[in-house]
Amino acid sequence: VKVAIGVNGRQVEAEVEDRLLLVHFVREVAGLTATNIGCDTTSCGACTVLLDGESVKSCTVLAAQADGCEVTTCEGLTGSDGRWHAVQRGFHAEHGVQCGFCTPGMIMAAVSLLAENPDPTVAQVRAGLEGNICRCTGYHNIVRAVLAAARDGRLPGGGSPAGAADPAEEPA
């Protein structure tokens, strides 16, 4: 099947197998390897990317299903000026990283969470990241990192999370 998928603002067109998974499209066709393949069973969240602004597990989406859509990976968060996204800064500042394997998925899940809820409580951060597993069990610093990003995103000039939406505009 022929697909055209926007990846971090770049249009990637390719003739791919109908059964190609989006995560393989991102890694092998678009050549972006921040997105990791962990469990491959929709459990661990390591392969989380944004599909039209919402977090999805790219091991459980076909590339064909994403045809015509916009995918954002961890590489796509950094501005063209090299400035990190608020969530990337939060993970750096709070050391929300141990081995790092879950980190790109955690960051993308956090970006999606903050887009829907820019000012989450600790409990809301934990619930919002329930689909992402850190096998180093470094959850405390990850939660701190997301809360720091939420604070950072609200500061003037702090760079609001990508695709942040007014919660009042949530579709009914």
Partner 1 sequence: MIPAPFTYRRARTVEEAVDLAAEAGDEGKFLAGGHSLLPLMKLRFAVPEVLIDIGRLAELSRHHDLEHSALLAAELPLLARAAGAVGDPQVRHRGTIGGSLVHADAASDLPAVGLALDATLVARGPSGSREIAMTDFFRGLFETALEPGELLTEIRIRRPAERGWSFQKFTKRAIDWAIVGVAVQGGRVALVNMDSVPARAGGVERALAAGDGPAAAAAHAAEGTSPVSDINASAAYREHLARVLTARALAEAASRN
Cα–Cα distance measured from residue 110 to residue 87, given in angstroms and rounded to the nearest whole number:
7
- The nearest distance, CB 129 to partner 1, in angstroms, is 8
* 97 phi and psi angles, rounded to 5 deg: -140, 130
Chain residues that interact with partner 1, rule: CB under 8 A: 1, 17-21, 24, 40-43, 45, 48, 51, 54-57, 60-62, 64-65, 67, 109, 112-113, 127-128, 130-132, 170-172
Min dist. Cβ of residue 6 to partner 1 (A): 16
Whose Cβ is closer to partner 1: residue 131's or residue 158's? 131
Minimum separation from the CB atom of position 80 to partner 1 (A): 27
DSSP bridge pairs for 4: 13
Our CB check for partner 1 shows the closer of 73 and 112 to be 112
On whether the CB atoms of residues 76 and 5 are closer than 8 A, the answer is no
Calpha distance 104→167 (Å, rounded): 25
